[in-house]
A and B are shown apart, each in its own frame.
Chain A
Amino acid sequence: MALDSGKPKFKYIGTRPNRPDGLDKVTGRARYGADISAPGMLHGAILRSPHAHAKILKIDASKALALKGVKAVVTRADFADGLSGEDWNIQENCMAGEKALYDGHAVAAVAATSALIARDAIKLIDVDYEPLPHVTDVDAAMAEGAPVIRDGAADYSVPEGLHPNVVRYFESGRGDLDEGFAKADLVLKRHYTTEAAHQGYIEPHACLAQLGADGKGELWCCTQGHWYVRQMCAAALGLEVSQLKVTPSEIGGGFGGKTTVFIDPVALALSRKAGGKPVKLVMSRSEVLRATGPTASASMDIKMGMTKDGKITAASGTYRMQGGAFPGAPVDETTVLAFANYNIEHVHHVGYDVMSNRPKQAAYRAPGAPMAAFGTESIIDEMATQLGLDPLEIRLKNAVKEGVRATYGPKFPAVGLIETLEAAQSHDNYAVPLGPNQGRGVASGFWLNWGGDTSASVAISEDGTVAVTVGTPDIGGSRASMALMAAEAFGIPYENVRVHIGDTASLGINEPTHGSRATYASGLAVIQSAKECIQKLSKRAAEAWGIDPDAVIWEDGFARPSGPNAGEFEPMSIAEIAGNMSSSGGPISGHFEASPETYGGSFGTHVVDVEVDPETGRTTVLRYLVVQDAGKAIHPSYVEGQFQGGAAQGIGWALNEEYIYGEDGRLQNPIFLDYRVPVASDLPMIDTVIVEVPNPGHPYGVRGVGETGITPPLPAIANAIAAATGVRFTKLPLTPPRVLAGIKAAKNA
């Protein structure tokens, strides 16, 4: 179902053609990070710290180097000196310096003639550690006496008197909280926690690197953003950025976790030390779980005031975000987005970015937003229950719309929250009768989306077909959406467009496929580049006809004379003009290089029905509905796919997924058996409704859709479980033991 916007109809946009890379991906032909080799290639392996926090006193690699087939060992000494800021953080995370900061932190690496020899060799490296006290809990890490991860890591924003592990402080708000709470008939205060969840992409990080003593290198890797990889690797190794060429492989999932580097600088360092031989480095799953990602965990205090008819009068939140052993937890996003769904006069947020002995957190789909939504949407639901109000009505009453000033400052342009709430309200799922032990939960969510540095190129081939080159790796079908937008712009068949992901040498810089930006920003870039091509094509036709270029219009792949004085000429096809390209002025192409800022945010509303087994505490998801504003769905199947995938990840985060650390500070569940992501038998079909409130900042109305979908599930599931059991849970994940304990405690109370 698409809510018609009344905008002009499209010929290609909104259709569902086969994706251009479908054949490669169903036949096993597509080449991912670990799928290529090079002549003379070595294999790398990384030695990782078994300690959560330890001084590295000495590394002796002599026995490893004596093993036949070992060609190089690198430690931190083989990387660049003198880095600062995020460059230093990334370098330090890829290879420990003076201290190992978490279980799994890299301390040395080997390159050898086979993967088996490399793995044998790392066991021969002797590391003298001096274990230090550790902390892996966010509240404990802020408390007096907690072990200091790194003194001096805090930035200017942190007020005096806080623990050195608090490295960033964020505060914002408006109005007068006291006044707002005084107007409320009901004021509620709750403490909520969410656990760290891993992005869980099925493809472990992998790369093939080559770097010579001349400082020139090439890297093939699975990444969401190869220009980021290039910059990060160049900094870590002390290279000139342009001397490194990075080519992205196909990518087996990222969800934010592949917007940074973990192994690529190590592989390059190994290659340089091994005389420039190419080095392949592939992570195991336990390395992925111990040393990449995950998202931050959160500890939150929320207070909200509401009138008895459901108007929110004031809201405040304190958010303590655990970003692992480095600064960077998404505290700004969490605080900014916490109450952004609602028009609240009096609002205040405080956020703390807290370091601990866990891996460096990485972006995960709408970074920071799901945690905030868990607090806000849970407390609203509890208040609705207490006041006897319908949860969708309460949201409609407070929902933001065009012209409302957001809790984070600017006024909203056209946005679709109300439309998603209304579509959820009228959907069949909202009226299905529920049985015993069953409950329905609703929640809304928001993600700002993003534009960012974007370069693209569109080139006309001799036969009038079109080659599009973008810099955003295709993670979920974006080649199809780029080709559809190009086809629409040119008025030529979808099949006549081929979309390429360019390497770092073929375009200007690009930000990664992150921030739900690919279809919005690269799409905008493709459309603008196509328009430039069309202008040039029209000019060639005008010159052939001897008329003014302004007297030519472009329609359905043809240049046509237009206007009273244009004269009578047979329309000229793109193929005809392209065929004469060389003799009529040379190559025809279009480019786009900018950082578009007209991304429109995307709101969503989810409705879930669950059944909770009172004997075991196990939750079964009976049905699930995602309603979200796509602005304009370019390829609706892949928009639905984003909705469904985001919901599934959120369901996993709500019910199962968590990082479990032992007393020793080591990760206890570093394999997929124990870090349990949803499997097919855990889920029902996931129903979708695409709402289309066009983004005024995109030629076809596109809003990014990738991230919003993970935001509502955490509270929607918790709200459904509360409805099913009568017990309100404030700590995720809602595993069977936790739910069972909650049910039993409520019975005994």
Chain B
Amino acid sequence: MSKHHVSATVNGDPVEYLCDPRETLLDCLRDHLGVMGVKEGCGTGDCGACSVTVDGRLVCSCLVLGVEAEGAEIGTVEGMGTEGNLHVLQEKFIEHAALQCGICTPGILVAAEALLKKNPDPSETELRYWLAGNLCRCTGYDKIIRAVMDAAADMREAS
């Protein structure tokens, strides 16, 4: 099957890749571009470990085809913060011990950042429903919810 040429940006940087029409955006990010912070937990859009933003919209990259990303701006955990200049959410996840194994963490960070852009002051219930598409099997979500609420409070104060 012939491959398609795709041009896009990932975390602000221009990228190009050739992809099989059957490959997902998740496959392309990981296998063609080496963006390994994006994780595959299910491949069916149920776990959220592959959460990215496409043109600002939160999506499961396993439910987007690689060819659909032509011209898109893709955001992943790698674009959230840099070492020494972490995003508040990243700092709060470490501080609150909001991760154990850490495999769901990149997806949850991306999803939480997308929420706080839309709603800087979510209630605990709003946050829990927003993150209902991101499975964590280690933490019982308690410390994740606390970390995001704390980050949101800090971000409101700083803005």
A and B: partners?
A: yes
In Å, the complex CA distance between A641 and B138 comes to 8
At the interface, yes or no: B137 with Cβ under 8 Å from chain A?
yes
Residues of A within 8 A of B42 (CB): 285, 671-672
A28-B37, A29-B37, A644-B140 known; A284 vs B132 contact (CB < 8 Å): no
At the interface, yes or no: A150 with Cβ under 8 Å from chain B?
no
Q: Which residue, of A21, A28, A204, A678, has the highest number of chain B Cβ atoms within 10 A?
A: A28
Residues of A within 8 A of B142 (CB): 640, 644, 683, 685-686
The residue from A26, A254, A644, A682 contacting B109, defined by CB atoms under 8 A apart: A26
In Å, the complex CA distance between A511 and B31 comes to 33
Contact with B along A622-664 (1 / 0, CB 8 A): 0000000000000101101100110111000000000000000
Residues of B within 8 A of A201 (CB): 101, 103, 137
Query: Does A252 contact B101, Cβ atoms closer than 8 Å?
Result: yes
Query: Does B77 contact A28, Cβ atoms closer than 8 Å?
Result: yes
At the interface, yes or no: A446 with Cβ under 8 Å from chain B?
no
At the interface, yes or no: B28 with Cβ under 8 Å from chain A?
no
Say how far A225's CB is from chain B's closest CB, in angstroms: 15
A25-B102, A28-B37, A644-B143 known; A679 vs B44 contact (CB < 8 Å): no
Say how far B24's CB is from chain A's closest CB, in angstroms: 11
Residues of B within 8 A of A27 (CB): 37, 77-78, 80-81, 83, 86, 90
The residue from A18, A203, A683, A686 contacting B103, defined by CB atoms under 8 A apart: A203
Query: Does B97 contact A19, Cβ atoms closer than 8 Å?
Result: yes
Residues of B within 8 A of A253 (CB): 100-101, 103, 137-138
Interface residues of A in 662-713 (CB under 8 A from B): 671-673, 677-683, 685-686
A31-39, A74-82, A185-193, A213-221: which lies at the interface: A31-39
In Å, the complex CA distance between A672 and B49 comes to 12
Query: Does A202 contact B99, Cβ atoms closer than 8 Å?
Result: no
In Å, the complex CA distance between A28 and B39 comes to 9
Say how far A656's CB is from chain B's closest CB, in angstroms: 13
Residues of A within 8 A of B133 (CB): 679
Say how far A156's CB is from chain B's closest CB, in angstroms: 38
Residues of B within 8 A of A476 (CB): 100-101, 138
How many B residues touch the partner, as a band?
A: 35 or more
Query: Does A30 contact B139, Cβ atoms closer than 8 Å?
Result: no
Interface residues of B in 106-151 (CB under 8 A from A): 106, 109, 125, 127-129, 131-146
In Å, the complex CA distance between A195 and B31 comes to 38
The residue from A635, A649, A686 contacting B137, defined by CB atoms under 8 A apart: A649
Contact with B along A246-262 (1 / 0, CB 8 A): 00001111110000000
Q: Which residue, of A22, A26, A27, has the highest number of chain B Cβ atoms within 10 A?
A: A26
Residues of A within 8 A of B76 (CB): 28
Query: Does A671 contact B44, Cβ atoms closer than 8 Å?
Result: yes
Query: Does A26 contact B103, Cβ atoms closer than 8 Å?
Result: no
The residue from A22, A254, A647, A672 contacting B47, defined by CB atoms under 8 A apart: A672
In Å, the complex CA distance between A635 and B97 comes to 10
How many A residues touch the partner, as a band?
A: 35 or more
At the interface, yes or no: A116 with Cβ under 8 Å from chain B?
yes
At the interface, yes or no: A367 with Cβ under 8 Å from chain B?
no
Residues of B within 8 A of A115 (CB): 27, 31
Query: Does A645 contact B109, Cβ atoms closer than 8 Å?
Result: no
Query: Does A645 contact B100, Cβ atoms closer than 8 Å?
Result: yes
At the interface, yes or no: A16 with Cβ under 8 Å from chain B?
yes
Query: Does B137 contact A477, Cβ atoms closer than 8 Å?
Result: no
The residue from B20, B30, B44, B81 contacting A285, defined by CB atoms under 8 A apart: B44
At the interface, yes or no: A590 with Cβ under 8 Å from chain B?
no
Interface residues of A in 315-337 (CB under 8 A from B): none
In Å, the complex CA distance between A673 and B145 comes to 22
Contact with B along A273-296 (1 / 0, CB 8 A): 000000000101100000000000
Contact with A along B13-52 (1 / 0, CB 8 A): 0000000101100010011000111111111101101000
Say how far B11's CB is from chain A's closest CB, in angstroms: 10
Residues of A within 8 A of B38 (CB): 28
Interface residues of A in 131-152 (CB under 8 A from B): none
Query: Does A477 contact B36, Cβ atoms closer than 8 Å?
Result: no
In Å, the complex CA distance between A512 and B135 comes to 25
The residue from A22, A638, A671, A680 contacting B132, defined by CB atoms under 8 A apart: A680
Q: Which residue, of B35, B42, B104, has the highest number of chain A Cβ atoms within 10 A?
A: B42
Residues of B within 8 A of A21 (CB): 102
Residues of A within 8 A of B37 (CB): 27-29
Query: Does B40 contact A34, Cβ atoms closer than 8 Å?
Result: yes
In Å, the complex CA distance between A22 and B102 comes to 9
Say how far A287's CB is from chain B's closest CB, in angstroms: 10
Query: Does B94 contact A252, Cβ atoms closer than 8 Å?
Result: no
Say how far B2's CB is from chain A's closest CB, in angstroms: 13
At the interface, yes or no: A67 with Cβ under 8 Å from chain B?
no
In Å, the complex CA distance between A678 and B109 comes to 19
A285-B42, A677-B137 known; A252 vs B97 contact (CB < 8 Å): no
Contact with B along A222-260 (1 / 0, CB 8 A): 000000000000000000000000000011111100000
A203-B39, A251-B101 known; A645 vs B140 contact (CB < 8 Å): yes
At the interface, yes or no: A23 with Cβ under 8 Å from chain B?
yes
Query: Does A672 contact B44, Cβ atoms closer than 8 Å?
Result: yes
Say how far B81's CB is from chain A's closest CB, in angstroms: 7
In Å, the complex CA distance between A683 and B131 comes to 12
Residues of A within 8 A of B93 (CB): 22, 26
At the interface, yes or no: A502 with Cβ under 8 Å from chain B?
no
In Å, the complex CA distance between A16 and B106 comes to 22
Say how far A339's CB is from chain B's closest CB, in angstroms: 28
At the interface, yes or no: B105 with Cβ under 8 Å from chain A?
yes
In Å, the complex CA distance between A316 and B145 comes to 43
At the interface, yes or no: A104 with Cβ under 8 Å from chain B?
no
Residues of B within 8 A of A34 (CB): 30, 40
Residues of A within 8 A of B83 (CB): 23, 27
Chain A residues at the B interface, C-beta cutoff of 8 Å: 16, 18-19, 21-32, 34-35, 115-116, 199-204, 250-255, 282, 284-285, 475-477, 635, 637-638, 640-641, 644-645, 647-649, 671-673, 677-683, 685-686
19 inter-chain pairs at a CB distance below 8 angstroms, sorted by A residue, are A16-B97, A26-B94, A27-B81, A27-B86, A116-B23, A201-B137, A202-B39, A250-B102, A253-B101, A475-B138, A477-B100, A635-B97, A637-B96, A644-B140, A644-B142, A679-B131, A683-B128, A685-B142, A685-B145
Chain B residues at the A interface, C-beta cutoff of 8 Å: 20, 22-23, 27, 30-31, 35-44, 46-47, 49, 76-78, 80-81, 83, 86, 90, 93-97, 99-106, 109, 125, 127-129, 131-146
- A641-B138, A671-B44, A680-B129 known; 17 new pairs, CB 8 Å cut-off, are A16-B97, A18-B95, A19-B97, A23-B83, A25-B105, A26-B93, A116-B22, A202-B101, A202-B137, A476-B101, A477-B97, A641-B97, A645-B137, A678-B141, A679-B131, A679-B132, A682-B132
The 4 closest A-B pairs by CB, nearest first: A28-B37, A252-B103, A648-B140, A25-B102
